[in-house]
Amino acid sequence: MAYLFTSESVSEGHPDKVADQISDALIDNFLAFDTESKVACETLVTTGQVILAGEVKSTTYLDVQKIARDTINKIGYTKGEYMFDGNSCGVLSAIHEQSEDISQGVDRGSKEQQGAGDQGMMFGYASNETENFMPLALDLSHRILKVLAELRRENKDITYLRPDSKSQVTIEYSDANVPQRIDAIVVSTQHDDFDEDDAMLSKIRKDIVDILIPRVVADLPEAIQALFNDDIKYHINPTGKFVIGGPHGDTGLTGRKIIVDTYGGKGAHGGGAFSGKDPSKVDRSAAYATRHIAKNLVAAGVADEVLVQVSYAIGVVEPMGIFIDTYGTCAFNMTDGEIAKIVSQLFDMRPFAIEDRLKLRAPIYSETAAYGHMGRTPETVTKTFTQPNGETITLDVELFTWEKLDYVDKVKSAFGL
């Protein structure tokens, strides 16, 4: 019997994502001037206020207030009527030095012997139902909000948009787990005030259905385009007026959108957030490494769908173990346990090895903090950072290295494919 599956996404202007982006902007600035920085930074945003807290061990000094304000302005909170804008909000910093009790378990005489920054389990997932090996419902949810943000910045076809928004996509699957059609799409977008509520709701619905959705569909592969139909149930701003939003409408916290950040409810999640953490924290680095494994396994043809789990003890170099689940989709006669054994030999999952393999000690994290950490396109970009004393550094960095298919040939060779 057919079934429905739903995933959601939130925009860069959502309060929790504002917090994530500020935390990751701090990470990038610390790593730009001191690649060995150890940082765990949390951000809270609310009406007219930003509160920064966390632990840092670094040789560099930053103007954290300016970094927070620049991030908020870049997102689009630039008007006093939003009750939260980068130029006028208060910024309180309660960042202090990292605990020596933690650092003694992580820092070792040899980088190769670096221990895990915390205990826990991390998951990576991949499926061949999309070209980027992501779950389709989440991929579409992200795309809707990316295009909505483009329209907001263009301020041409739709001129009333504000930064806060959410999306949700429900897909009907067959018994064979193949997408059949889009059943429902939800879009809630913050907007400027209108003179008349009914006219406002009618215009927003028309613009989303007639302008936003066709622009999203136009960039999709034909097979995915075919899933869109005239029977889709659209819920556009279903509660009605959405003028009060962003951190004024809802307090935001770092790390509160971990399912949006990963796989939209497909696969599994270990529970640890990513943003605000340097790569010695395996909550982040190992989650990227397991995604890298899962994606390369699926791309190599080992299985149609793969879940990878790794676990650690704080201060211990080697992981507790690697678990693989192919959901019965393995392409050949091999158990998931046998696959896991080969994977553990092929991918070095010690914390420093992950950092080194995926080039994680670089300022690459601001770009991860909205629209998902997984399923993105690897690229090299040039970034410039400035310290309070005027010192400037320009770096070429590789983004989303864990999305590279650079192990496909190694995987094929290891599995005799």
The rounded average pLDDT for each run of 10 residues, N- to C-terminus, in the chain (417 residues) is 95 98 98 96 97 95 96 97 95 84 56 76 97 98 98 96 98 95 98 90 96 98 96 95 95 97 95 94 96 98 98 90 96 95 96 96 98 98 95 97 98 95
Binding residue per annotation — 129? Answer: no
Binding residue per annotation — 98? Answer: yes
Q: What is the DSSP string of 176-234?
A: TS-EEEEEEEEEEEEE---S-HHHHHHHHHHHIIIIIHHHHHHTS-HHHHTT--TTPEE
- For the record, the structure tokens of 248 come out as 């004024």
Final residue of a structural domain among 224, 245, 266: 245
Q: How far apart are CA 232 and CA 238, in angstroms?
A: 15
- pLDDT at 111 (0 to 100): 66
Helix axes 64-75 and 15-33, enclosed angle (nearest 10): 130
Final residue of a structural domain among 191, 216, 245: 245
Binding residue per annotation — 289? Answer: no
Binding residue per annotation — 338? Answer: no
- pLDDT at 101 (0 to 100): 52
Length of the chain (residues): 417
374/317 same-domain check: yes
Binding residue per annotation — 16? Answer: yes
173/315 same-domain check: no
Number of domains forming the structure of the chain: 3
218/155 same-domain check: yes
Binding residue per annotation — 14? Answer: yes
171/60 same-domain check: no
- Assess contact for 37 and 60: CB atoms under 8 A: yes
235/287 same-domain check: no
Binding residue per annotation — 241? Answer: yes
Binding residue per annotation — 166? Answer: yes
Binding residue per annotation — 277? Answer: yes
Q: How far apart are CA 131 and CA 371, in angstroms?
A: 17
Q: Is residue 114 part of a domain?
A: no
Q: How far apart are CA 207 and CA 157, in angstroms?
A: 8
Residues 6+ apart with CB under 8 A from 382: 394, 395, 396, 397
Final residue of a structural domain among 245, 273, 291: 245
285/310 same-domain check: yes
Q: Is residue 55 part of a domain?
A: yes
Q: How far apart are CA 372 and CA 385, in angstroms?
A: 24
Kindly provide the b/e burial profile for residues 316-335, where b requires at least 16 CB atoms within 10 angstroms of the residue's own CB: ebebeebbbbbeeebeeebe
> What single-letter DSSP state applies at residue 374?
S
- For the record, the structure tokens of 238 come out as 């279903």
Binding residue per annotation — 38? Answer: no
Domain membership of residue 383 as a residue range: 120-128+255-415
Q: Using CB atoms within 10 Å of the CB of residue 293, give its burial: 0 to 12 exposed, 13 to 18 middle, 19+ buried.
A: buried
pTM to 2 decimal places: 0.95
Binding residue per annotation — 257? Answer: yes
261/305 same-domain check: yes
Q: How far apart are CA 104 and CA 93, in angstroms?
A: 25
Binding residue per annotation — 256? Answer: yes
Binding residue per annotation — 292? Answer: no
Q: Is residue 112 part of a domain?
A: no
HSE-CB for 385 with a 13 A CA cutoff = 25
